[in-house]
Amino acid sequence: MGKNILAGAIAVVLLAGCGATIPTGYRPPESTTPATSVTTFDVAQRQSPVEISGTTLSGQEFSTAELNGIVVVNAWASWCAPCREEWPIFIEVESNYPQVNLLGLNEADDLSAAKDFVADAGGTWTHLRDPDQLLALESGTISGNFLPGTIVLDKKHRVAAKFVGKVTAPELTQIIEQLLAEN
Class of domain 26-181: alpha beta
Angle in degrees, 0-180, between the axes of helices 111-121 and 81-96, rounded to the nearest 10: 50
Instruction: Please tell me whether the overall predicted TM-score, pTM, comes out greater than 0.75 for this model.
Output: yes
Helix/strand/coil for 92: helix
Ramachandran assignment for 99, one of left (phi > 0), alpha (psi -120 to 50 degrees), beta (any other): alpha
Distances (CA, A) of 26 to 77, 80, 144: 9, 8, 11
On the question of pLDDT at 117 being above 70, the answer is yes
β-bridge partners, 129: 106
Q: Where are the beta strands (DSSP E) in 2-138?
A: 37-40, 53-55, 61-63, 71-76, 101-107, 126-130
Q: Of 95, 58, 52, 92, which Cα lies nearest the Cα of 75?
A: 52
How far apart are alpha carbons 109 and 170 in whole angstroms? 29
DSSP count for the chain of H helices, then E strands: 5, 8
pLDDT for 83 equals 95
Q: Is the dihedral of CA 129, 131, 137, 142 positive or negative?
A: positive
Burial of 33 (0-12, 13-18, 19+ CB in 10 A): middle
Q: Of 29, 26, 24, 2, which Cα lies nearest the Cα of 134?
A: 24
How far apart are alpha carbons 70 and 89 in whole angstroms? 16
pLDDT for 144 equals 78
Q: What is the mean pLDDT of the chain?
A: 85
Mean pLDDT of 94-121: 96
Residue 84: band (very low, low, confident or very high) from pLDDT cuts 50, 70, 90: very high
